[in-house]
A and B are shown apart, each in its own frame.
Chain A
Amino acid sequence: MLRTNLGQRIPEGMRDLLPEEIALQENLEREVLALFQQWSYQKVLSPTLEFTACVQPDVEQVDSLYKFFDRDGRILALRPELTTPIARLVSTRMRGANLPLRLCYGADVFRNSSVRYREFRQVGVELIGADQELADAEVIALAVESIACLGLENFQFNLGHMGIFSGLLLEAGVEEGFRQKLEEALARKDMVGVERLVQQSGLPERVQELLLRLPHFHGGEEILDEVLDWSFLPTIREAVESLRRIYRYLNYFGVQKYVSLDLGILRGFSYYTGAVFEGYVAGIGFPVLEGGRYDSLYADFGVPQPATGFAIHLGSMLELFPLPSIPGADILVYGPDPQEIIRESRALRLQGKKVEMALETIDRDAAEALARLKSISEIKLAGEEVSRG
């Protein structure tokens, strides 16, 4: 049946990948996954559809899930990311696995929200069952190397720690309602709102000053010394010293020069629990890589254990790279007799050649013209040439 106008279009946020585009994406993914495997991360794949109960942490929140019903009326969702499905997978089928567990993935994720693509490729890693700072550093160093291995030069990573902000709020003894409003404003990146909230909070002047400064505090290791002067509270000191150790490990990994400390990296308040980081590339207006420590997620699946990881929004970065040209076939096989063409083509393919068959009976001139048109370097006659004229 002739497709309607709608039937010839694709839904908003979806896209077709043409041969060069999918070749590009696969090349990039192959590079990154090879690197992950060199760091001993094993590839896993979770299903495209999950129960919404797995991937939706808070039913009260507005989400960006694509949802469906199964035959029993239960709500399904296309996976919006891989970290939570992998936590489910590890907590159920890999429950007895030797820790720490290093897993990686390359898969499409689906988000029914308005920003650009709603289906895009993600590659990422999870390091599960390790709470050491060396584990954080390993994952951050691997993140930097992943972006570097794509051949990008103008990139940068910013690294922060959720514990410094939460420690500061703990020390100030702010009430729950204020904390919630402040976190909401920070998540919206509404610094004017943050300023207003803090100034109207009635908190001591010193605390106000620190709360206003923290989201913009950015630099090298020296900023950590300054934060230590802010407070004697053990939670803040612990977070600062932990961040310092991670940052020094990054130096041993040879990647520290790409990483700035930035205490304004504050996001996913109910999710991230420690070091958090983002990767940026010149020319793309949003972070292309996001990651951090999430020590409370596994408890939601009944198997509490620490974990850290990151994801690269690979499908959203394709425009940074030139499209590869896809070489034509090695040989065009032509001739008058289909049986001969098939036989010749099979023989050549067994030799490892990339072979295209002429589907119509053509002569040598036509075969040469066709080969030129399709960038095929060689032509071969199968069987006997038909006599000309």
Chain B
Amino acid sequence: MDNDFLTIALPKGKLLIDSIQRLSRIGIECQHVNEDSRKLFYDLPHSKVKIIICRATDIPTYVEYGAADLGIVGKDTLLEENKDVIELLDLKFGYCRFVVAMPEGSVPPKHANGEYDLSGLNHQRVATKFPRVAETYFSELGMQVNPIKLHGNIELAPCVGLAEMIVDIVSTGKTLRENHLVEVAPILEATSRLIVNRVAYRMKYERIRDIAGKLRNDMNEEVLDVQSL
């Protein structure tokens, strides 16, 4: 095993461009990495880094097993996959929120404080890509629901009667509106995270600390830039 090289797993999809930008800015020359080519594996000998591109939901697994030392992944995926990895740094991009949403016509009544009263929704079906997150949220409210795991287009499920409500991530809320769905409860907010394999963090400590430190500084500089505008 070469101790010099770091393997970094990056997710396909909307987090990839930001991830590459961040890594490039701290001196890991990976501007040419993209998911349009069929290439899933990039060797960057100059930076002593290997980059692998995989599905977001698989990144915690790659890192847990040590197939990748580091990974960048959304907190949403991290919560759902629940793997044994070190969550080292909040990279603060890819902001989204987990919400419970229902069709406009069937929203529950509201409490005096303006929040929706979910207590009538026991034993209803929840369509979601995140059954673990959904179940944890409702069980903390003392409720029981029946999650139905789907892999995409969650908002379709209530329209065709597959489920009474959905738990999904939203960034702007546009998709919800287009499908006549209303947010009835926020669950939590999620951004992308730098995750680390627990052995890599010990055996490649200096390099990983260096990268984490640079990523943190890079974020602080970005904040300053915005403030000085």
Q: Which residues of B contact A83 (CB under 8 A)?
A: none
Residues of chain A within 8 A (CB-CB) of B205 are 218, 260
* Cβ contact within 8 Å between B202 and A262: yes
Check if B87 sits within 8 Å of A280, measured CB to CB.
no
Number of interface residues of A (CB under 8 A): 24
Partner of B87, one of A115, A191, A283: A191
Q: Is the CB of A283 within 8 A of B198?
A: no
Inter-subunit contact A156/B88 (CB<8 Å): no
Q: How distant is the Cα of A189 from the Cα of B89 in the complex, in angstroms?
A: 11
Q: B88, B193, B197, B209: which contacts A285 (Cβ < 8 A)?
A: B197
B87 with A156: CB separation less than 8 A: no
Chain B residues near A154: list those with CB within 8 A.
1, 3
| Interface SS majority for chain B | mixed
Let me know if A286 and B199 touch, CB within 8 A.
Answer: yes
Whether B87 lies near A190 (C-beta < 8 A) is yes
Pick from B89, B198, B202, B203: contact of A192, CB under 8 Å: B89
- The CB with the most chain A CB atoms within 10 A, among B64, B89, B193, B202, is that of B202
- What chain B residues lie within 8 Å of A287 (beta carbons)? 198-199
User: Contacts A192-B89, A192-B193, A216-B209; is A286 near B84 (CB within 8 Å)?
Assistant: yes
Q: Which residue of A lies closest to B1 (CB)?
A: A282
Q: Is B86 an interface residue (CB 8 A)?
A: yes
Could you list some 22 contacts between A and B, CB below 8 A? A115-B84, A154-B1, A154-B3, A156-B202, A156-B203, A158-B202, A188-B87, A189-B85, A189-B198, A190-B87, A191-B87, A191-B88, A192-B87, A192-B89, A216-B209, A218-B205, A260-B202, A282-B3, A285-B66, A285-B67, A286-B66, A286-B84
Interface residue? A81 (CB, 8 A): no
Closest approach, in angstroms, between the C-beta of A111 and any C-beta of chain B? 13
Chain A interfacial positions (CB closer than 8 Å to B): 115, 154, 156, 158, 188-193, 195, 216, 218, 260, 262, 278, 280-287
Would B87 and A189 count as touching, CB distance under 8 A? yes
Best-surrounded residue of B86, B90, B199 (most CB of chain A within 10 A)? B199
Q: Chain B contacts of A286 at CB under 8 A?
A: 64, 66, 84, 198-199
CA distance A101 to B1 in the complex (A): 39
- Known contacts A191-B88, A285-B200; 9 additional CB pairs below 8 A are A188-B87, A189-B84, A189-B86, A260-B205, A280-B202, A282-B1, A285-B65, A286-B84, A287-B199
Instruction: State in angstroms the CA–CA spacing of A262 and B202 once bound together.
Output: 9
- In the assembled complex, the Cα of A188 lies from the Cα of B75 at a distance in Å of 14
- CB of A282 within 8 A of CB of B203, answer yes
Q: Which of A188, A191, A218 has the most CB of B within 10 A?
A: A191
